[in-house]
Structure 1
């Protein structure tokens, strides 16, 4: 077999393959045996029909089709290896010449992995925000913890900001109730600002048993920007009573004996969360800088496929949340064009990052051992909320393990590049990246996670401990969370 390659673009190649007919003999023999098992010819047992009889009964063309279809995959793979090409998608194969008992010639056009000339990633300098936990941050978390243990008591007075009211609400236009704009018996905190413009102002000063009608404009849906009449009735006004921030509260809300110990624990957790955020910011900044320094040709088909997959995922997740795309764009104050441009940039950055990290892994001869793969699978199962055994079984049954291996390899390549960078904060202090896990994700430092106290105050600071990074960094871990996607 002879093969030659023609470069159509940096990401697409055309193979021309010539196959002498004698190399097709094994496939022809197999084709005759297969067809012999499928036909009935008087005077011959099934499977024992001679080739010349098959040629008369079925036709030589059918035999050639069977043989060539069976041989093409192997011939194609052999041509790829001979020319050191890495395909990214299924090829477009065209048989250009077939002369019986002479030769076979075919072409295969396919998207290929582009050649990436890596920049020098040793000592890249990036800067991230200072790690700062203020007294106000700590006070906010302690206040949230107090509110978790607060109680509501009915009051015989008008509602004020911070009070909780039980209300019925109905929006109408021209006497018709607006679809989805009617609630009953809902608890709402005055001043929350999370429902309808003008509601907080209307509720302030209302007492139990009173009602009021006001005019506002809806911010989403089919009637966006149009005036509607909102009728609200208050059936109860409750005041939140918070426990005193003292030693008794510390003992109730945590395993600590004093409020000083509780406060110190909250500060420690906030600092830990800030370190995670800082490490994630450093990781993303380093990868972004690498991408700025390298030219990565992107196959259009790969980008288009990823864009479609992400759009479908966003649509599905919005449907689960009961939102339309229009409502989502309204809430994010984005136009369709802005959303599409942002999503395409994120996809292009993610695909480019994959190619770059794959090249880094190849250069650094990065491999994955069984323990690293197992740890990654367990982390992925935890992130998706699935049973680990069921998750791993699904990955095996659907042949996704190679993808998982690629994710870990890219993650280790990303970690290597980040660790080689010089990261400082805005004050010029060197940033230690001890939260960067071997697979490129951000996790708890081992020395802190080992003795993590199991207190209620963990929940008070948990919102600061969820740094996950941007899409560019997530290219090392191809699972895209719904929240990240819908923030495109």
Structure 2
């Protein structure tokens, strides 16, 4: 077999493959056997019809078609390997020449990984914000804990911010109740937001048995975004009473004996969380510095597919949250054009990062073992809230394991790049990344050669 490559653009090639006819013989033999099982010819048992008889009865064409369909995938893959090409999508294959008993020629156009020089990633420098946990952060967490143990007490007064009210809601258009626009006996915290525009403002000052109508827009259903008249009726007002912040509360809400110990633990937990956030920012910053050193041509088809997938994902999340795109853009302070430009920039950076990490993994000759794959599958299952065994079965059945393997390799590549870099916070302190554990604590330095599989999670 011979193959030649024509570069159509930096990320798309055209393979021309010539296959000598003798290499089709196994596929031709298989084609004759298959067709022999499918036809009835007087004087011959099913499956025992000679090739010459099949040619007369069925024709040579269907046999050649069957053989070509059988041999093309293998020859295409062989041509990719012979020319060291890594495809990114399904090829467009066309048979361009078929000379019976002599030659088969076909072409395959396909998007491939771009070829680029990987810059030195040793000693990259990046910066991140300082790790800071304020007294206000700690107070907010402690207050949230107190609210978990708070009690609701009915009050005979007007509702105010922070009160809990029991309400009925009816949304109507032109005097007719909107389908799905009626809620009864719902408990709601005044000032919480996230429901329907105008609700919090309407509730402030209302007492039990009061009703009020205001204009708003639907946040869900087929009529999302359409104007409606909402009538809210309050049936009860309750005030939340919080427990005293003392040692007794500390023992009730935690394993600690004193409020000082509880507060110190809350602060430490916040520090660990901020440390993980800082580490994620550091990884992004280092990768961004590396990408700035490169100009990688990107396959537009891959970028377009990823753009469409991300846009659809965002739209679905907004729909589930009951938020229109216009409202989301208003909250983000973006125009539609700015949103699209930002989304495309992030997609292009993400696609380029994948190519870089794949190349680093190949250069470093990373591999994975069964234990790493199993751990990765378990983590992915936990992240998606699925049973690990069911998740693993699904991945195997739908041939997603190569994707899982690629994720692990990219994680190792990213860890290698980050560990070789110097990351400092805004105050000039070096950020510890190499020995950072998944819970946000700093562990002891790993023994030489010891793999830290957990680092693959943040790729």
TM-score by length of 1: 0.83
Structure 1: runs of 5 or more not aligned: 449-472, 478-488
Residue pair 2:283, 2:418 contacting (<8 A) in 1 also:
yes
CA distance in 2 between partners of 1:383 and 1:446 (Å): 23
CA distance in 2 between partners of 1:140 and 1:40 (Å): 82
CA distance in 1 between partners of 2:199 and 2:105 (Å): 75
Structure 2 residue aligned with 1:160: 160
1:338-366 residue CA offsets vs partner (Å, 9 max, x unmatched): 44433333322222111110001111111
User: Compared with structure 1, are the counterparts of its residues 253 and 66 closer, same or farther at alpha carbon in structure 2 (3 Å cutoff)?
Assistant: same
What is the Cα deviation at residue 88 of structure 1? Answer: 1.6
1:168-187 residue CA offsets vs partner (Å, 9 max, x unmatched): 34455554445655433232
Structure 2 residue aligned with 1:379: 379
CA distance in 1 between partners of 2:130 and 2:311 (Å): 35
1:200-249 residue CA offsets vs partner (Å, 9 max, x unmatched): 44433333233344x445486768596x6544333222211111100100
What is the Cα deviation at residue 69 of structure 1? Answer: 1.9
What is the Cα deviation at residue 292 of structure 1? Answer: 2.0
By relative contact order (CA 8 Å, sep 6+), the higher-ranking structure is 1
Structure 2 residue aligned with 1:127: 127
SS at match of 1:432: coil
Structure 2 residue aligned with 1:460: none
CA distance in 2 between partners of 1:405 and 1:176 (Å): 56
TM-score by length of 2: 0.88
Structure 2 residue aligned with 1:39: 39
Does residue 389 in structure 1 map to residue 382 in structure 2? Answer: no
1:358-385 residue CA offsets vs partner (Å, 9 max, x unmatched): 0011111111122222211111111011
Q: How does 1:55-454 map to 2 (within 5 A)?
A: 55-172=55-172, 174-177=174-177, 182-213=182-213, 215-218=214-217, 229-317=229-317, 336-434=336-434, 444-445=440-441, 447=443
CA distance in 1 between partners of 2:327 and 2:346 (Å): 22
What is the Cα deviation at residue 324 of structure 1? Answer: 6.3
What is the Cα deviation at residue 133 of structure 1? Answer: 0.9
Residue pair 2:36, 2:46 contacting (<8 A) in 1 also:
yes
What is the Cα deviation at residue 260 of structure 1? Answer: 0.9
Residue pair 1:155, 1:238 contacting (<8 A) in 2 also:
yes
CA distance in 2 between partners of 1:427 and 1:209 (Å): 57
CA distance in 2 between partners of 1:109 and 1:8 (Å): 9
CA distance in 2 between partners of 1:245 and 1:96 (Å): 81
Once the two structures are overlaid, the 10-residue window that deviates more, 294-303 or 43-52, is 43-52
CA distance in 1 between partners of 2:132 and 2:144 (Å): 20
SS at match of 1:366: coil
CA distance in 2 between partners of 1:429 and 1:91 (Å): 50
CA distance in 2 between partners of 1:183 and 1:150 (Å): 26
Residue pair 1:275, 1:435 contacting (<8 A) in 2 also:
no
RMSD of the alignment, in Å?
2.9
User: Compared with structure 1, are the counterparts of its residues 443 and 350 closer, same or farther at alpha carbon in structure 2 (3 Å cutoff)?
Assistant: farther
Residue pair 2:155, 2:238 contacting (<8 A) in 1 also:
yes
What is the Cα deviation at residue 140 of structure 1? Answer: 0.9
Structure 2 residue aligned with 1:27: 27
Residue pair 1:27, 1:67 contacting (<8 A) in 2 also:
yes
What is the Cα deviation at residue 38 of structure 1? Answer: 2.5
Structure 1 residue aligned with 2:16: 16
CA distance in 2 between partners of 1:85 and 1:9 (Å): 14
SS at match of 2:430: coil
CA distance in 2 between partners of 1:324 and 1:136 (Å): 33
What is the Cα deviation at residue 427 of structure 1? Answer: 0.7
User: Compared with structure 1, are the counterparts of its residues 309 and 435 closer, same or farther at alpha carbon in structure 2 (3 Å cutoff)?
Assistant: farther
What is the Cα deviation at residue 327 of structure 1? Answer: 6.5
Structure 2: runs of 5 or more not aligned: 445-455
What is the Cα deviation at residue 76 of structure 1? Answer: 1.6
Residue pair 2:208, 2:237 contacting (<8 A) in 1 also:
yes
SS at match of 2:238: strand
CA distance in 2 between partners of 1:303 and 1:328 (Å): 24
Residue pair 1:2, 1:17 contacting (<8 A) in 2 also:
yes
User: Compared with structure 1, are the counterparts of its residues 59 and 126 closer, same or farther at alpha carbon in structure 2 (3 Å cutoff)?
Assistant: same
What is the Cα deviation at residue 336 of structure 1? Answer: 4.8
SS at match of 1:273: helix
CA distance in 1 between partners of 2:432 and 2:136 (Å): 25
What is the Cα deviation at residue 276 of structure 1? Answer: 0.7
Once the two structures are overlaid, the 10-residue window that deviates more, 193-202 or 248-257, is 193-202
User: Compared with structure 1, are the counterparts of its residues 257 and 64 closer, same or farther at alpha carbon in structure 2 (3 Å cutoff)?
Assistant: same
User: Compared with structure 1, are the counterparts of its residues 260 and 155 closer, same or farther at alpha carbon in structure 2 (3 Å cutoff)?
Assistant: same
CA distance in 2 between partners of 1:290 and 1:270 (Å): 30
Once the two structures are overlaid, the 10-residue window that deviates more, 285-294 or 136-145, is 285-294
